[in-house]
Amino acid sequence: MPRIFIVPSPAANAFATGRDPEHAAIAVTEGLLNLLPEDELEGVIAHELTHVANRDTLTQAVAATIAGAISFLAQIVSYSVWYTPYSRDDRNGLNPLGMLLTIFLAPISATVIQLGISRTREFSADAGSARLTRNPRALARALQRLEATTRQLPLQANPAFEPLLITNAISGQFLGNLFSSHPSTEARIEALRKIEQEQLSRTSEFSFGR
């Protein structure tokens, strides 16, 4: 059982943290408790419990470390290019385009991959919530409420903290999704609807079989 904390904030959000299930904690804000009815709150808690079970905090920490290491190496390469003396023959052997790609695109690519992993874990946690509660529609409604609320009253926290939250206010446009730690709310709701249809189909098959 993870430790449970209530954050004294009017903003509505929730998150899970901890390197493994034995050292995990789930936090919800007072704003979330006041905003959501019981079934939607259950869906949010189940989402965070799935993050704990899947060790997603550890996964995100490893991804962030790798992205940081790639960015650091790109910085070293840029310093060596600009501050290391070269002979004319050495400079003729350098590929400027290749160096620019290494210096600028490598850290951007690492960041995009890191954020892509984060978005994948959010889809997985949504699916885990749907399995635990057998009520994917409740989580879908909660996500809609949270998106509308967080745009008006975002949680005041370090931006690096955002990947842990259940939702953010990033635009649903392509570039927004590319550099967002969360999928768009529309995409998450669509995935939950598909899960609901699959659950209803299995229930109908089971009832027919009996």
Annotated active-site residue 30? The verdict is no
Residue 205 and residue 28: Cα distance in Å, rounded? 38
Asked whether the beta carbons of 188 and 123 are under 8 A apart, the reply is yes
Rounded Cα–Cα distance for residues 195 and 201 (Å): 10
R_g of the chain computed on alpha carbons:
22
HSE of 151, CA atoms in CB hemisphere, 13 A: 10
**What's at 30, amino acid-wise?**
E
Selected catalytic residue, list 40, 42, 48, 122: 48
Q: Which residues of 51-67 are buried (b: 16+ CB within 10 A; e: fewer)?
A: bbbbbbbeebeebbeeb
Three-state SS at 189: helix
Which residues carry out catalysis? 48
